[in-house]
Amino acid sequence: MVQYSALDATFAALADPTRRGILRRLGEGACSISDLAELFEMTLTGIKKHVRLLEEAGMVVTEKRGRVRYCMLGTNSLEREVAWIRDYQFSLEGRLDRLDEFLNRTEGTS
């Protein structure tokens, strides 16, 4: 069974364009919170909030080295989320197929 709290955390994390941008940037390699703040023209506090949400979803991991906190991609492979989307897509396609069948049966009966 799908755990909706995990899905909620992931979809909430992905809902924001800044967080998607952070993930895109971390796909190139680890970088510091300061570098992310500069890249996205945000305050350190603002970028930390975004990173925290990504961490909670398992999409980002942070590590402190000296006085600098580095971010890198986490271990969330999005398998749960892909499975949920696939199930939803299957359900939706089934409904659309039934609608198509209904329209084909009723076509020309008026």
Q: Which of 91, 22, 25 is nearest to 53 (CA)?
A: 22
Note the pTM of the prediction, 2 decimals: 0.76
Domain ranges of the chain: 1-74, 77-110
Chain mean position to CA 48: 17
Tell which wins on pLDDT, 38 or 93.
38
Could you tell me where the beta strands, DSSP code E, fall in 2-110? Answer: 31-32, 60-65, 68-73
Q: Write down the architecture of domain 1-74 according to CATH.
A: Orthogonal Bundle (1.10)
How many CA atoms lie less than 13 Å away from 43 in the CB half-sphere? 3
Per residue in 24-67, pLDDT (tens digit) is 999 999 999 999 999 999 999 999 999 999 999 999 999 999 99
Average pLDDT over residues 76-100: 82
Q: Which of 44, 75, 45 is nearest to 58 (CA)?
A: 75
Token duo for residue 54 = 């990504």
